[in-house]
Amino acid sequence: MTSFALPLTQKELCPGLWCGLTGITGFVGGALAAKLLHQGVTLVALVRELNQSRIAQNNVRRSAKGLGIQLPDDWEDRLFFDELKPKGTQFSQCEVVIHSAADMSYDLSHLEESIGFNSGYSTWLLNRSSRSEKRPLFIYVSTAYVAPHEHGPILEKFHNKVGTNNSYQLSKSIAESALVSFAENHDHDLVIFRPSIIVGSSKTGFSPKRSNGFYKFVDAFELAKKFGKGTLHFSLNPEAVPNFVSIDSVVSALEKIVMKFKFIRGVKFFHCAGQSNLNNAQLTSIVARWFEMVYSNTRPTTSLERRIEKNLISLNAPFSNATWLFCLNRINYFIGTDWQSPIRPEAIKKMIGEYLIEKKTIEQQY
């Protein structure tokens, strides 16, 4: 397929671009903020409380350092803050709004709260954007796992069925339906951006502060090690290949979409999936060796292992026990293919190390 990627520079395409952004205190939002500020974009960060501005600025600095991004001298002058329901005038200048904040809970008892934020607030923010004079492109960071698992590539389209039964995926699916309906009824440009399992940097190992996805497996081995275990037993499909996508790839893809915002009309679905070929047998071997342990792909044999499997392993079983293939035709057609960063064993080792360092730092603070 011929790529639609245009060889235009940021200055040629969008001089003085203003973007709204939620989630700046998180992993994706902080990394994306660092990248866009590096490119000269002015950001309006929507935060739960305005006193979070110092936390947000520190997260941008941390993200820039972790990803090897040089922040310009004037970056703080181009970073404004407003409430989640913006009241200031800066938001009205935004030509793109990126909604990356989310309620990440998997617990179904938390479903009402998850729907309230992931769907209710998202729809409110799109509605607010549609009433802005510039009617900004709205980019919603969803998840690739709103789709049911299929043996062939999962297409970049709207899915009527939900792939997994947890609060996060269910609320994201409901949000997509509500956003698409509103965008189509109000003729508003919308991108549904669907990353797969986001992990750290494929280059530096820069990793999130909080445990999720792959890092739950790291937590499992770390906990077993603390209790003196030399071998950890839990069951996984050894041949399945979890679909990891590096934070480098996610940020690069979002940046390229932002830079081509003028070419987006209507509702678009883009997958942001990875190129990792490491299966569960290889991944568990890497993590086990890091902790100088042995992994046994058998049922748990102790009460500790049963708690580890229940609280850390089973949560992500739907994504790790099957090989999910995601079609990338549309995103590659629109932005090219150079956004993808392959994930190799050495990168996984760096991610483990960086995550544990950050985790220890946070624990020492408390």
pLDDT one-digit tens code per residue, 100-140: 999 999 888 899 999 999 999 999 999 999 999 999 999 99
Angle at which helices 214-226 and 280-290 cross, to 10°: 40
Is 5 a residue whose pLDDT tops 60?
A: no
Could you tell me if residue 108 is inside a domain? yes
Could you tell me if residue 288 is inside a domain? no
Distance CA 241, CA 214 (A): 12
**CATH code (residue 95):** 3.40.50.720
Is 11 a residue whose pLDDT tops 60?
A: no
Q: State which residues form the domain around 192.
A: 10-207+244-275+324-343
Could you tell me if residue 171 is inside a domain? yes
Q: What percent of the chain has pLDDT over 90?
A: 79
Answer whether 309's CB lies under 8 Å from 300's CB. yes
Q: What's the whole-model pTM score?
A: 0.94
Neighbours of 233 (CB within 10 A): 19
The whole-number pLDDT of residue 26 equals 95
The whole-number pLDDT of residue 87 equals 87
For residue 166, CA distances in Å to 108, 116, 198 come to 6, 15, 18
Is 332 a residue whose pLDDT tops 90?
A: yes
How many domains in the chain?
1
Could you tell me if residue 334 is inside a domain? yes
Q: What percent of the chain has pLDDT over 70?
A: 94
pLDDT band at 364 (very low <50, low <70, confident <90, very high): low
The whole-number pLDDT of residue 366 equals 53
Could you tell me if residue 28 is inside a domain? yes
List the structure tokens of 145.
């796992």
pLDDT band at 13 (very low <50, low <70, confident <90, very high): very low
pLDDT band at 365 (very low <50, low <70, confident <90, very high): low
The whole-number pLDDT of residue 355 equals 96
- Across 133-142, 146-155, 206-215, the highest mean pLDDT is recorded for 133-142
Is 270 a residue whose pLDDT tops 80?
A: yes
For 205, residues 6+ apart whose C-beta sits below 8 A from its C-beta are 347, 349, 350, 351, 352, 353, 354
Could you tell me if residue 56 is inside a domain? yes
- Per-residue pLDDT averaged across 269-294, rounded? 94
> Phi and psi at residue 98, in whole multiples of 5°?
-115, 115
Could you tell me if residue 2 is inside a domain? no
Is 61 a residue whose pLDDT tops 80?
A: yes
Is 72 a residue whose pLDDT tops 80?
A: yes
pLDDT band at 164 (very low <50, low <70, confident <90, very high): low
Could you tell me if residue 253 is inside a domain? yes
Distance CA 26, CA 59 (A): 8
For 220, residues 6+ apart whose C-beta sits below 8 A from its C-beta are 232, 234, 308, 312, 313
